[in-house]
Amino acid sequence: MFHPKQQLNLAFDRTRFSIAGIQVIIISSAMSISLFPRKLLAALPRMTNELQSLDRLFSRSALSNEKATEYKDAITLLNCLQSNVINLKECTKKIETGVPKHSQEECKVFLKRTGIKLETLENDLSVIHVSGTKGKGSTCAYCESILRSHGYKTGFFSSPHLVAVRERIRINGIPISEEKFVKHFWNVYRKLEANKDEYNGSMPFYFGFLTVMAIHVFLSEKVDVAVIEVGIGGENDCTNIFSNTPIVGITSLGLDHTKLLGDRIEQIAWQKAGIMKAESTVIVSRDQPATALQVLRDRAHEKNCILLEAPPIEDYKLENYTNSSEIIKKSFDSSVIQELNVSLALQLSYAWMARCKNRGNLNAIGKALTICERSLDGISNCYWPGRQQILEPNDSRLTYYVDGAHTKESMLECAAWFNNKTKTRKSVKVLLFNVTSNRDSYELLSLLDDCQFDIVLFSTNIANHNNYNITSDQANLITSVASQLERCSEHVKIWQELAESRITKRESETVRSFPSVRDALDYLENLSGSEKREFSVLVTGSLHLVGAFFSTVDPDLTFMKGKAS
């Protein structure tokens, strides 16, 4: 949570505006301003001309006007709730001092403040809750698609988004429309704003707000089932607000967010298992690290849960077919990690139908299932962009291989996937890379070195610096452009170190950095046109980079294959 009396330093010419009723006068030099949230208007020095609209947006009169605001107004105010870096630092401090951060308890209070009682969640919203390190988004996407193929109305909450924040909240697989987003955003925000003085001025951070908003959307839409992807961890995640979760899934575990979750796999497993509830049916991906699996079993025992492992995809049968395994694998872009994800998604879907809709046998869960063609359709029709995806634009010599891998394990999978897809293709191999947060750039880049790239490009996560402002779905008020550029320079140095340390020397590659993804793609398009050769471009390292890439090549979300709901 943030509080009104937090300090922000800005430098501006003399002007006056108000934010949530707080009159602010900026004279000239840097001055300290009390407002909410911290770093609220960090991007304003380059947006002086937006002060009048911000004045209107944040004034109490605008907040109380039911007819006020457009989509960009909602996005602007949502961006002002950004907190990831600040909140993560606070969480880390609390963990280091032995005091846990209970985001889910705060989220329950926010739900109550917006008129949703916890009993309502238990009675009116059936949930499949999924945590894990690798593949939890993909598993959720497959699960949602399978259940939709069986005729159920689905809600799906995921993170992060690629192009538009609306992607995080979906009804029947489609992001909610701008109109619905605006309606639900202001309904939630105005309720929280109206009673914040009773709660020491507290308001939720970005992810917490969207969690509360998603619950409102799902209840309003009367979905049959809500598939909820955990943000970070599980035990103390904002989404861990359900006391009665019938179906729980845990995907493959690995080391990630170690400052928050612990630097041992056992600690991470304990955190991920926090979403288990009494008598939940818990299904986990197979091939978990042995010590992590034992922790999961112990926690399931403590919570009186049934814990089952999803079987290999080869063990599944398809009704009325003899070559079942081959047909099922052809229904998706088969790889080791996706086979684990699809198997877990099938188990979660069939468990929910058996337990919550009396369709099927719950005792069959955890074993090889015989699935129907509806389920096969759900798998083949699932579209989850930015994960091991190949794009071949018309009239272009560039083929893009896009994967948001950002952990050691997922990057190994990514490198193997790219090498397999391009091994028979005579083309110039290109890497477009960036990472976020405190991830080990050297480790991730070293895993990609064997791909033998001809060109290596590093970019910020900014799609186009000309359109980088506070009203954008991809605005980042926490990480400055300067720090992103500095990270790119570090990546150049790391790659040069890797090249110098190679035992087997090879022809040196071109290494460059760019201030935006648009600049990097312009460079490649010009180069491919002049050389008249085919290019295979791997875009990886961060889902935020992937989002910037899609914002550049497909800003209208046509990749979502459908109209907004």
Query: 338: domain CATH number?
Result: 3.40.1190.10
342 and 458 share one domain? no
Whether the bond into 160 is cis, omega within 30 of 0: yes
The answer to whether position 527 is within a domain reads yes
Q: With beta carbons less than 8 A apart as the criterion, state whether 317 and 371 touch.
A: yes
Is position 129 within any domain?
Answer: yes
Residue 432 belongs to a domain with what CATH number? 3.90.190.20
CA distances from 90 to 2, 93, 96, 561 (A): 11, 5, 10, 39
Same domain, 408 and 357: no
Same domain, yes or no: 277 and 398: no
Burial class (CB in 10 A: 0-12, 13-18, 19+), 482: exposed
Looking at the structure, tell me whether residues 130 and 260 fall in a common domain: yes
- H or E, element range at 357: helix 336-357
Residue 228: its pLDDT value, please? Answer: 98
SS3 21: coil
Q: Which residues pair with 158 in a beta bridge?
A: none
Task: Specify if 41 maps to a domain.
Answer: no
Q: Is the pLDDT score of 532 beyond 90?
A: no
User: The dihedral of CA 304, 310, 316, 318: what is its sign?
Assistant: positive
Percent of the chain clearing pLDDT 90 (strictly above):
59
Mean pLDDT across the chain? 83
> Are residue 330 and residue 425 in the same domain, yes or no?
no
State residue 15's pLDDT score.
37
Of 288, 371, 287, nearest in space to 331 by CA: 371
Determine the average pLDDT of the residues in 67-73.
74
Residue 257 counted as an annotated binding residue: yes
Last residue of a domain, one of 350, 381, 412: 381
pLDDT bin (cut points 50, 70, 90) of residue 560 is: low
Q: Are residues 164 and 310 in the same domain?
A: yes
- Of 62, 4, 59, 74, the closest CA to residue 37 belongs to 4
Q: Is 32 a known ligand-binding residue?
A: no
- Specify if 31 maps to a domain: no
Considering 347, 381, 415, which residue would you say is the last residue of a domain?
381
**Does any domain span residue 1?**
no
Is 159 annotated as contributing to ligand binding? yes
Do 333 and 437 belong to one domain? no
Integer Cα distance of 289 and 293 in angstroms: 6
Amino acid at 330: K
* Residues 348 and 405 reside in one and the same domain: no
How buried is residue 461: exposed, middle or buried, by Cβ count under 10 Å (0-12/13-18/19+)?
buried
* Residue 459 annotated in ligand binding: no
Tell whether 332 and 211 lie within a shared domain: yes
- Asked if the model's pLDDT at residue 49 lies above 70, the reply is no
Q: Which two tokens stand for residue 139?
A: 């598993």
Of 452 and 259, the one with more pLDDT = 452
Domain check: are 320 and 406 in the same one? Answer: no
Residue 476 pLDDT grade (very low, low, confident, very high; cuts 50, 70, 90): confident
CB-neighbour burial class of residue 49 (10 A; exposed 0-12, middle 13-18, buried 19+): exposed
Compute CA 176 distance to the chain's CA centroid, rounded to the nearest angstrom: 16
Tell me the C-alpha distance between 339 and 287, whole Å.
12
* 418 found inside a domain: yes
- Give the count of domains, the chain: 2
**Mean pLDDT of the region 543-551:** 94
In a domain, 50, yes or no: no
* Structural domain range at position 151: 85-381
Per-residue confidence (pLDDT) for residue 21, from 0 to 100: 37
Residue 111 has pLDDT above 70, yes or no: yes
- Among 381, 416, 441, identify where a domain stops: 381
Is residue 491 marked as binding? no
Q: What is the pLDDT of residue 250?
A: 97
- The pLDDT value recorded for residue 96 is 44
Model confidence at 508, in pLDDT bands (50, 70, 90)? confident
Please tell me whether residues 404 and 348 are part of one structural domain. no
| Sequence letter at residue 439 | R
Residue 414 belongs to a domain: yes
What local confidence, expressed as pLDDT, does residue 48 receive? 40
Both 338 and 410 in one domain: the answer is no
